[in-house]
Structure 1
Amino acid sequence: MKLTETIALAAALGCAGSALGADAKVSVPEGYKLVYKQDFGTNSLGEFQMTDPNAWTIGEGKEGSALELKQQSKYVPTVRSPVNIALIKDLAFKDFVLEAEFIQTGREYGHRDMCIFYGFQEPTKFYYTHIATKADPNAHNVFIVNDKPRTNIAKKTTEGANWGLNVWHKVRLERNTSEGSIKVYFDDMSEPIMVAEDKTFLSGHIGFGSFDDTGKVDNVRIWAPSAEKVSAPAFPKQAPASK
């Protein structure tokens, strides 16, 4: 995938240099532009479709505010898959580069995680990246949910991610649908911690959350050739028990 040198967001957004911060130079594929930016400086919960709105709030961020998953969602998915999901409500994406900062606020254990969702078409059809302390068949992998319990599809993963305590981490996810590629980076932007290939879902909504933990997300940026204005699917208020 050919990369441009950089994107000058000051020109793209017409913003002052001091407001751009780390956004000023980001390497993205040719033809991409910044299509979504969220710093959670205001109460932006209304921008998200959630499995349980009561589980989320606007909390303290790295600088300013962040989207905070404060408790477990009262949601039972139809098939075995994450419980805590907040989707960007009115935009769907095909090819994209996403960067965001995450902090994990739960206890330490092997499956301690935060998730990114994408290609989300409905509550039983989507991808998600599960970044966890220790890799195993059900953790720290790229997963597909396609009308059956989640299945790992990564061709490469590391042994796990060190979330630490009170530490913010930068995450980057690259999706190229023509190649089917999914690449995930954690703190080190030079080497992916996960690589997968799949073309089942070529477009869909993007979101954040956790399988069954708590945490925060801040400084969300999405670059893409374009974004489609379409409403995210509603989650069932009372789903049947997991299979």
Structure 2
Amino acid sequence: MHSDPQSQRRIRSGLFLGLILICGVARADEVVTNFSDGFGPWTPLHTGTWAIQSEEGNPLAALIEPGTQRPPVRRPTAYLFLQGHVWQNVTFTLRAMTLEPDTVTKRDVVLIFGYVDDVHYYYAHISALTDDTFHNIIMKVDGDQRSTIHREILPEARLTGGWHTIRVQHQRRGEIKVYVDDLDNPLMTADDTDYPVGSVAFGSFDDRALFDDVLVSGELVEPDPIEVSFMVVAEEASSMEFFGSAGFTYQIEKSLDLRLWEPVGEPLHGQDVPLTRQLESSTDDVSFFRVFTRFPALSSS
């Protein structure tokens, strides 16, 4: 329990019912997928159509119909998402082939990484066109905004109608490298620390494509669940403070009877710093609050 005067003022109008704050751990792991058992651990976004197809007896993940754009910002419309995994210091490799003809000059495939939620992540856009704006770039999606973050000017457009080996290396300290076919020399690089850990996905911005031989290796981040219970009496205000791990979100919920709970405000994004949420009882009765750790998850809308 904090003992400084500021901390005493912060909790004066409330009562902790329970507090468990345990730091997370990271362990080396890898996920290998060749689609012989369907999509395996990968979950499709609700927009876009996926199927398992066979090429000379080899099963492939096929994006057979691209998805549709959704607000609040333009971003990849269809992808397979690795549910329940949060990575740091990750290497993400796969083989990909666009199904669009040469006449589609902006055809693409994408690798998503540092995924925190539906509007906070990075993606490597591998295209047949390079323009430093939307095609053949490393992009950061940040709420209702997006921005390119790669260093290179007009990196070579290497996407053709054949198979390509694509690799993304993403370090927790912010270093990003993207390779296409030449796995010794990166095609694009960036340095950004906004999403140091997160989940991964692959698909396309708005085209059809095939994927195979997916390998994700790195350190899985596994924070223990945070349980914080707090009681606020009558209409007095207080605040709840807890440590938020990067790559995870935290939802505060409120109840009057410890049975029915409703969310309070938007989820808070962890950045490896303490998080604070003001608490206020809206009735003359006691209000109860709690917080839950949420893994990165697909949007359902």
Q: Distance in 2 between matches of 1:61 and 1:198?
A: 38
AA aligned to 1:83 is T
Question: In the alignment, what sits opposite 1:214?
Answer: 208
Query: Which residue is equivalent to 1:13?
Result: none
Alignment of 1:92-103 (within 5 A): 92-103=86-97
Residue 142 of structure 2 is matched in structure 1 by: 146
Match of 1:65 among 44, 59, 62: 59
Aligned residues: 204
**Counterparts of 2:29 and 2:55, CA distance in 1:** 22
Matched to 1:198, the amino acid is: D
User: For 1:81, which of 56, 75, 100 is the aligned residue?
Assistant: 75
Cα deviation, residue 225, structure 1: 2.9
Rg larger in structure: 2
- Quick one: which amino acid aligns to residue 139 of structure 1? H
SS at match of 2:66: coil
1:140 partner letter: N
Aligned equivalent of 1:197? 191
The 5 A counterparts of 1:39-54 are 39-44=34-39, 47-52=42-47
Q: Partner of 2:298 in structure 1? A: 234
Identity %: 22
- 8 Å CA contact 2:27–2:221 kept in 1: the answer is no
Equivalent in the alignment of 2:250: none
What TM-score results when the alignment is normalised by the length of structure 2?
A: 0.62
Moved more, 224-233 or 193-202: 224-233
Gaps of 5+ in 1: 1-30, 238-243
Pick the aligned partner of 2:156 from 130, 153, 160.
Answer: 160
Cα separation, partners in 2 of 1:214 and 1:157, compared to 1, 3 Å: farther
Q: Distance in 2 between matches of 1:161 and 1:34?
A: 32
TM-fit CA distance, 1:85: 2.1
* 1:163-195 CA-partner distances (Å, limit 9, x unpaired): 322x111111111122x1110111111111100
Paired amino acid for 1:71: E
| Deviation, structure 1 residue 222 | 1.4
TM-score (norm. length: structure 1): 0.76
Deviation at 1:232, TM superposition (A): 3.9
Indicate conservation of the 8 Å contact 1:50/1:87, yes or no.
Answer: yes
- SS of the residue aligned with 2:53? strand
Could you tell me which of 114, 118, 129 is aligned with 1:134? 129
How far did 1:34 drift? 4.7
Structure (1/2) with the larger helix percentage: 1
Q: Which runs of 5+ in 2 are unaligned?
A: 1-25, 224-293
